[in-house]
């Protein structure tokens, strides 16, 4: 069984929800506190020297990290969670899968720990990252169908990203006021009964 090292509500939530949606069994190992010196960091560092969540230990003992890579691994086992090869939406799915981790994720890396990167002006870095993140979400909202999913009638892994990330900054109220497509997609994901347990465990619903 796959072991998912993570923290409830953090980035590992995306992997948990994706695995649940794909009906792939996994064991969740809570490493809360890994971002400070201590036993949880030591545990995680043995698998992933970068000490990032999610980190997955696969059935064969291999280590998998990076949420987009985990998504691609899941698609190998459950290809129905992406537009099929040859479909007009396939390229846009691939684009957004990488776009989210390449563009939105770094705003959390720097805004959550600004003192690491700009010790002389941490609050300015944080404010700049938050403003840039909002502009990215506005761009994303304009590239989603939300009828009811990001790509129309087909539920994909992009919808999982959207549902989880809505719970992070700038939070539900901002999304509701500024991004109707993101809001509608996240609401639809949260209504899927098969995801209720994992969504509750990660305080998404």
Please state, for a pLDDT cut of 90, what percent of the chain lies above it.
99
DSSP 3-state assignment of 170? coil
Helix (H) or strand (E) holding 3: strand 2-6
Whether the upstream peptide bond of residue 148 has omega within 30° of 0, thus cis, is yes
Question: Could you give the angle at the alpha carbon of 81 between the alpha carbons of 135 and 150, nearest 5°?
Answer: 30
Q: pLDDT tens digits, the chain, 205 residues: what are they?
A: 999 999 999 999 999 999 999 999 999 999 999 999 999 999 999 999 999 999 999 999 999 999 999 999 999 999 999 999 999 999 999 999 999 999 999 999 999 999 999 999 999 999 999 999 999 999 999 999 999 999 999 999 999 999 999 999 999 999 999 999 999 999 999 999 999 999 999 999 9
pLDDT value for 60: 96
Q: What is the pLDDT of residue 192?
A: 98
What pLDDT is attached to residue 71?
98
Task: Give pLDDT, residue 111.
Answer: 92
C-alpha 177/C-alpha 143 separation (Å) is: 17
Handedness of CA 103, 201, 23, 60 (dihedral sign): positive
Task: Characterise 90 by phi-psi region: left (phi > 0), alpha (psi -120 to 50), beta (else).
Answer: alpha
Instruction: For residue range 126-183, list pLDDT tens digits in order.
Output: 999 999 999 999 999 999 999 999 999 999 999 999 999 999 999 999 999 999 999 9
Task: Say what the pLDDT of residue 10 is.
Answer: 96
Q: According to the model, what pLDDT value does residue 3 have?
A: 98
């Amino acid at each position: 069984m796959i072991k998912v090292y993570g923290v409830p509500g953090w980035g590992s939530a995306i992997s948990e929800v994706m695995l649940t949606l794909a009906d792939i069994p996994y064991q969740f190992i809570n490493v809360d506190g890994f971002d400070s010196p201590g036993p949880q960091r030591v545990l995680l560092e043995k698998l992933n020297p970068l000490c990032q969540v999610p980190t997955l230990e696969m059935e064969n003992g291999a280590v998998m990290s990076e949420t987009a890579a985990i998504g691609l691994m899941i698609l190998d086992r459950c290809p129905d969670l992406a537009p099929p090869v040859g479909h007009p939406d396939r390229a846009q799915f691939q684009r957004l899968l990488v776009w989210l981790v390449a563009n939105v994720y770094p705003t959390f890396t720097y805004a959550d720990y600004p003192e690491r990167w700009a010790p002389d002006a941490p609050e300015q870095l944080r404010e700049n990252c938050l403003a840039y993140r909002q502009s990215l979400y506005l761009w994303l909202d304009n590239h989603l169908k939300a009828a009811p999913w990001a790509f129309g009638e087909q539920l994909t892994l992009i919808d999982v990203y959207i549902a989880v990330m809505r719970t992070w900054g700038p939070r539900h109220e901002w999304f509701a006021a500024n991004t109707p497509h993101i809001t509608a997609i996240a609401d639809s994901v949260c209504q899927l009964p098969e995801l209720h347990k994992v969504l509750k465990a990660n305080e998404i619903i």
